[in-house]
Amino acid sequence: MENNSDKGHFQRKMQTRHVVMLSLGGVIGTGLFLSSGYTIQQAGPLGTILSYLIGALVVYLVMLCLGELSVYMPETGAFHSYAAKYIGPATGYTVAWLYWLTWTVALGSEFTAAGLLMQRWFPSVNVWIWSALFALMIFLFNAFTVKLFAESEFWFSLVKVMTIVLFIIIGGAAMFGIIPMADASPAPFFTNITASGWFPHGATAILMTMLAVNFAFSGTELIGIAAGETENPEKNIPKAIHTTLWRLIIFFIGTIVILSALLPMSDASVLESPFVAVMERIGVTYAADIMNFVILTAILSAANSGLYASSRMLWSLADKQTISPWFARLTKRGVPFNALVLSMAGGALALLSSIIAPGTVYITLVSISGLAVVAVWMSISVSQYMFRRQYLREGNKVQDLVYRTPLYPIVPIVSFLLCLASCIGIAFDPTQRIALYCGIPFIILCYIVYYLTDRTKKKEG
């Protein structure tokens, strides 16, 4: 299809380091820095470690499926194309809108959070002024070239990664008594992890927190979206998938173990950020200011990845001629500028709804976007299953695939079922149940809109 660029075309400018950091940037955000305390309080320290291990397994299986697809067909806005091709065009259309909404809503909440964090240093300046400034900065990073976006994301993510590594080293040293605690209390070792019992709220709490954990890992699939703008994708994409996954497991599991060991469970949820509390217990000077800066970087990095992902999804929809071809236009430097503007406008509306109607419109948007990530992962598993079946039916050999999903068909089936389990889990949690009430009607609406526009197109054709 040549309608995608009357001026330019996508440029393969991303290297492995960019793709790895893009994926880490999308994942390591407020979920780890702010919400981890809530998860520890809900499922207990041991339950949280188990939840994150299961979450890491789900992500790993989904990424193995995505690896085969994105190496065989490196496309920008990838998994929407795979779902359209191997499940059905209506499903592809729905997946793209779900994913677009996920990141657009995230943009709104990230700009709000960034503005709120600046209040610590500039209490007299209005939150919306900071939100608008950060929004403009992220828009400019994305608007010029993909190289500028990738480079800014690389440095944003590096700050977070270095912080987590330092946190694990300092926290580990305090845990084993190498560094004394600020209040001169003895080294806790692993006592806090089981102090409240193995599973204080029962094993079902693990199932309840699974969706929250999956959200914490969401963003890993950005590797698939970036495939069309990556140098040498058959070599760089598998490499990025493997390095991202083991780093995520080390960062997430390592961090949760340290937090659980140094914070009694009763203290975990009341804190603004469990990281700040742990640093202050160890006696790190300016701990709160340092962590405030890092969390700000984390939020801006996630917003940067989010704007990139949502604009590429819109471009992909236009490229498949399911929305106006106007969104498929690229600048001379290969940036889908029109799609970028609409995604930014969506982020601004989400930002407004978080201020004007947080209890109604905004909570609905957040619920849909939460469920959407898991729905997208399920579509990746099904797409890979269908792709391999079709590939073999056409007389091709598995050996000819540059990157193969191992243990087929076990991997796509198990990853699909684990994602489904986390969706079922939220039905038992009254605070998260709204995601199903809002998400399922939204999915049905997408299918209806697709069939209506498709029928109109056929009549005109």
3-state secondary structure labels for all residues of the chain: CCCCCCCCCCCCCECHHHHHHHHHHHHCCHHHHCCHHHHHHHHHHHHHHHHHHHHHHHHHHHHHHHHHHHHHCCCCCHHHHHHHHHCCHHHHHHHHHHHHHHHHHHHHHHHHHHHHHHCCCCCCCCHHHHHHHHHHHHHHHHHCCHHHHHHHHHHHHHHHHHHHHHHHHHHHHHHCCCCCCCCCCCCCCCHHHHCCCCCCCCCHHHHHHHHHHHHHHCCCCHHHHHHHHECCHHHHHHHHHHHHHHHHHHHHHHHHHHHHHHCCHHHHCCCCCHHHHHHHHHCCCCHHHHHHHHHHHHHHHHHHHHHHHHHHHHHHHHHCCCCCHHHHCCCCCCCCHHHHHHHHHHHHHHHHHHHHCHHHHHHHHHHHHHHHHHHHHHHHHHHHHHHHHHHHHCCCCHHHCCCCCCCCCHHHHHHHHHHHHHHHHHCCCCCCCHHHHHHHHHHHHHHHHHHHHHHHHHHHC
With 90 as the cut, is the pLDDT of residue 386 above it?
A: yes
The pLDDT tens digits of the residues spanning 192-210 come to 777 666 776 777 777 777 7
Which pLDDT score is estimated for 42? Answer: 77
Q: Residue 458 — pLDDT band, cuts 50, 70, 90?
A: confident
Which pLDDT score is estimated for 272? Answer: 61
Q: What pTM did the predictor assign?
A: 0.85
Written as one letter, the residue type at 348 is A
Mean pLDDT of 410-433: 87
Q: Residue 5 — pLDDT band, cuts 50, 70, 90?
A: very low
Mean pLDDT of 417-435: 83
Mean pLDDT of 88-111: 90
Of 67-76, 284-293, 340-349, 363-372, minimum mean pLDDT range: 363-372
The pLDDT tens digits of the residues spanning 21-62 come to 777 766 777 667 767 777 777 777 888 888 888 888 898 899
Burial class (CB in 10 A: 0-12, 13-18, 19+), 349: middle
